[in-house]
Amino acid sequence: MKLSLKLSESLLITSRPNIFYFSGIDISGGVFLLITREKKIIFGDARFIKEAARIAKGCEAVAVSKESDAWWRETLQKHRIKTLYFEPHDLTFAKLKRFKLLSRGVVRVMPSKINLRELRS
């Protein structure tokens, strides 16, 4: 499924069903997906990322480091992302707050208007 994203936009996928739909990965917890106009990037704990990369053909895999949050900002800047859309029906307030903090000064964080549940059906 191709999403209509502008070059500077991305979609943060955090729900397990949507991660599976867009990447083929069905791992409980520890992974999330960033979709840009040109690329899919799977992020995960080092314990899961190798398996996720093997399963998700065509996805770039990035290991999440607990020592530093630089991996997130570097990814956003590398792909020239200016707007980050998130799944409003899945992301908890605490996780949203964390992504906003990680993204501060780099991107605008906004709820997605795309109903991904409808898109899957």
d(CA 13, CA 10): 10
Confidence of residue 52 (pLDDT cuts 50, 70, 90): confident
pLDDT digits (tens, 9 = 90+) for 8-38: 999 999 999 999 988 888 877 778 999 999 9
* Mean pLDDT calculated for residue range 55-72: 84
Burial of 12 (C-beta count, 10 Å sphere; 0-12/13-18/19+): buried
Nearest to 93 by CA among 75, 72, 111, 70: 111
d(CA 12, CA 10): 7
Would you say domain 9-120 falls under CATH 1.10.1200.10? no
pLDDT on residue 64:
86
* Mean pLDDT calculated for residue range 96-115: 91
pTM for the predicted model, two decimal places: 0.88
